[in-house]
Amino acid sequence: MKLTAPVARKSIRLHKDPPNPPAEIYNLHVEDVTGNNIPLAQAKGKNLLLVNTASDCGYTAQYASLEELRARYPHQLLIIGFPSNEFKEQEKADDESILQFCRVNYGVQFPLSKKSNVLKGDGQHPVYRWLTSKGLNGWNDKAPEWNFSKYLLDEKGRLLAYFGPQVDPLSKEICQLIEQ
């Protein structure tokens, strides 16, 4: 039997007037699945959507929505996926296999990080430490509840919202924030 996330209402945490974060996310970087360094400073002036992903999850089809969102807002948005095996071991593949799976099955062109720990604790990726620490981002301490949880930052690097996995990337809630 394949386990999926419990059925629940959409989980959204939104800060209508986000504070300037005590620590800048633009000082961080991400190593992608091919070993290239992605400085988050390249997202200055754009919205940034950070999503923990998995290839064997009930929400895996959201890769297609994420790619469509990327294509819809090519100059306004940078999406980075963070493959993670922390939720019921639904991302067992190695980095190269993850990249091939995403490209072949969903046409993914947005960057994917090396497989990462996104939950709080030892080994948590620095980007996710920033996203889940009120002392770093200014207001949020919510960790991902499951695969395909999403964090949206504005063009100034301020955390705008957390969206649980039930919220499709093409939802009006996400698109309206990108367009504002």
Task: Please tell me the number of Cα atoms within 13 Å of 27 on its side-chain side.
Answer: 8
Radius of gyration of the chain (CA): 15
Cα 147 from Cα 75, distance rounded (Å): 26
Max intra-chain CA distance, the chain: 45
Residue 110: CB atoms within 10 Å: 18
Whether the Cβ atoms of residue 151 and residue 15 lie closer than 8 Å to each other = no
* Amino acid, single-letter form, for residue 130: W
Q: Which residues are catalytic?
A: 57
